[in-house]
Amino acid sequence: MFDEFVLAASTAELAAEPRAREDADAVEFRMDLADDPLAQLDDYGGELPIIATNRAAWEGGEAEEIDRYDALSLAAADGSVAAVDVELAALRGNVPAGEASLATALRETAREADVRVIASVHDFESTPTVGALGDLLADAAAEGDVAKLATTATAPADALSMIRATHEATAAGHRVATMCMGEPGRHTRAVTPVYGSRIGYAPVDAADATAPGQYPLATLRELVDGLREGTSKNGTRSSLP
């Protein structure tokens, strides 16, 4: 998984999966936003593979208890789950004491189950320089199978920085998923896949967006496919793996 671009439909209700099938390649299951998430996984009979996310409150989610790792470990053992999302700050030990060991143990559990690990970083205030973005992507790629980086764009220059960092990280051989949150960077969700980003996120229902600036699922599918097809025909992606 993630050898090619994957469009993930974000939802806290796995029962919504049938509505996503026409446009999505996977479902991002926001366990931190869900009611009884483990029961939902047990009952899941959908066709799309699952990316399990149990986002910590300190990184913009609603999971406030450290036992979120237990839930993610159980999710990794579910045959429908193809990837789990783990915060880079936890893997690197840059969070309250005790989380690093739990995060790395979760990573090992996932890999033993042949489940991919997305090492994620979210910046809800700004977009760093291109060099800093590149360093974050390299760090996340070293910790996970995919380096996810979502920053907040406050000006068009921020979007350009993310696009350039995506291109450079991909050219360096890293598997990345990149985007800018906020209106000035909204278009990066459609554009960064042209430069190598491997995962896009969009809500199953537009009213239930899980991050600022998300496109509706069908819209993002159309935009990404149109842009990638056009640039492929023009040969502009030939240098990207």
- 233 belongs to the catalytic site: no
The larger pLDDT score, comparing residue 205 to residue 80, is at: 80
Q: Could you tell me whether strands 116-122 and 146-152 are parallel, antiparallel, or unpaired per DSSP bridges?
A: parallel
Q: Which of 122, 167, 174, 187 is the catalytic position? A: 122
pLDDT tens-place string over residues 170-209: 999 999 999 999 999 999 999 999 999 999 999 988 777 7
Does the predicted model carry a pTM greater than 0.85? yes
Domain boundaries, the chain: 6-234
Report the C-alpha gap between 230 and 221 in whole angstroms. Answer: 14
Rounded CA separation 120/106 (Å): 14
C-alpha span between 126 and 112 (Å, rounded):
36
What's the confidence (pLDDT) of residue 232? 57
Tens-place pLDDT, residues 123-133 = 999 999 999 99
pLDDT category, 61, cuts 50, 70, 90? very high
State the pLDDT confidence band at 236, using cuts at 50, 70 and 90.
very low
pLDDT for the residue 235: 43
pLDDT reading at 169 higher than 80: yes
Q: What is the mean pLDDT of the chain?
A: 93
Report the DSSP beta bridge partners of residue 8.
26, 201
Q: Quick one: 67 exposed, middle or buried, by C-beta within 10 A (0-12, 13-18, 19+)?
A: exposed
Which numeric CATH code is attached to 6-234? 3.20.20.70
Q: Specify whether 174 is catalytic.
A: no
Handedness of CA 48, 49, 55, 60 (dihedral sign): negative
